[in-house]
Amino acid sequence: MRLLLLRHGQTPSNVAGLLDTGAPGPRLTPLGEQQAAAVPAALEGRRIDALAVSSLVRTSDTAGPLAAARDLRPSVLDGLREVEAGSLEMSSAFDDHHTYLETVFAWSRGDRSRRMPGGPDGHEFLARFDDAVAALSTVSRETRDGGVVLAVSHGAAIRSWSGARVRGLDVEELAHTPLANTGLIEVQGDPESGWELVEWHREPVGGALLDAVVAHDPTGEPVDE
């Protein structure tokens, strides 16, 4: 199975630097809509057998143009949603951003018992994201050659799960490198044998001109020392 994990387009909370992880969450900004609109052309010629989104509306907004272009109906999987910020929810404070990111990358490094303040620990997060990926793997088995699935998810969720589960990704590099809105991590494998890195697109798939220089985009920014 080939799995493309695409971060959603820009939201007002990304611009404002808010740890906004609750449901249903914000819609896209005008730039986020441009980022989403650029995805079909950016992936033109790429095989995609199925689409999936999280239960947060910004992922459905991002998948919309690609779904229309490919005549695909996205599956909604709650397990693909963002890492819950717990008591840090809606904070714009630097220290809270640091705590949030340090926690999700601690999970990637193996400290799964560390708990987000007022939120999940690493075992809980990885279990529900693993379940979502396993569901996608089931869908892919129904297609030829193992299938290609694109899942629109969230910055911290993609980075934390990939750091914990994908061979060929350096966790420290992942933690200290931003993942832009509509950036992509592409992997191959399956839940039984594991996952290997294929490619990591740090910038928007539609091109660097669609990137936004935002001072504090909490779930996609690097861990600041």
Query: Does the residue 220 lie in any domain?
Result: no
Percent of all residues in the chain with a pLDDT value above 70, rounded to a whole number: 94
The answer to whether 115 and 94 are in contact (CB under 8 A) is no
Domain that holds residue 93: 2-149+156-210
Assign residue 107 the CATH number of its domain: 3.40.50.1240
Question: What pLDDT is recorded for position 204?
Answer: 95
Question: What pLDDT is recorded for position 87?
Answer: 98
- Of 8, 97, 154, 221, which is the active-site residue? 8
Q: What is the DSSP string of 38-94?
A: HHHHHTTT----EEEE-SSHHHHHHHHHHHHHHT--PEE-GGGSPPP-GGGTT---H
Query: Does the residue 222 lie in any domain?
Result: no
Question: What pLDDT is recorded for position 138?
Answer: 80
Query: Does the residue 221 lie in any domain?
Result: no
Query: Does the residue 225 lie in any domain?
Result: no
With H, G, I as helix, E, B as strand and everything else as coil, classify residue 158: helix
User: For residue 94, is pLDDT > 90?
Assistant: yes
Q: Reply yes or no on whether 82 is catalytic.
A: yes
Query: Does the residue 122 lie in any domain?
Result: yes
Query: Does the residue 79 lie in any domain?
Result: yes
Distance CA 74, CA 96 (A): 33
- Of 33, 44, 82, 123, which is the active-site residue? 82
Q: Which of 64-78, 98-112, 135-149, 185-199 has the lowest mean pLDDT?
A: 135-149
Total domains in the chain come to: 1
Mean pLDDT of 179-196: 96
The DSSP 8-state label assigned to residue 20 in this structure reads -
User: For residue 225, is pLDDT > 70?
Assistant: no
At 163, the amino acid letter reads G
How do residues 98-149 score in pLDDT, each as one tens digit? 999 999 999 999 999 999 999 999 999 999 999 999 999 886 565 656 799 9
| pLDDT band of 209, cuts 50, 70, 90 | confident
Q: What is the mean pLDDT of the chain?
A: 93
Rounded to 10 deg, the angle between the 155-165 and 94-109 helix axes is 30
Question: CA dist 176 to 6, 172, 173, 224, Å?
Answer: 19, 6, 5, 7
Query: Does the residue 217 lie in any domain?
Result: no
Question: CA dist 109 to 59, 115, 122, 162, 164, Å?
Answer: 27, 14, 10, 11, 7
Query: Does the residue 145 lie in any domain?
Result: yes
For the chain, the maximum distance between any two Cα atoms, rounded to a whole number of angstroms, is 48
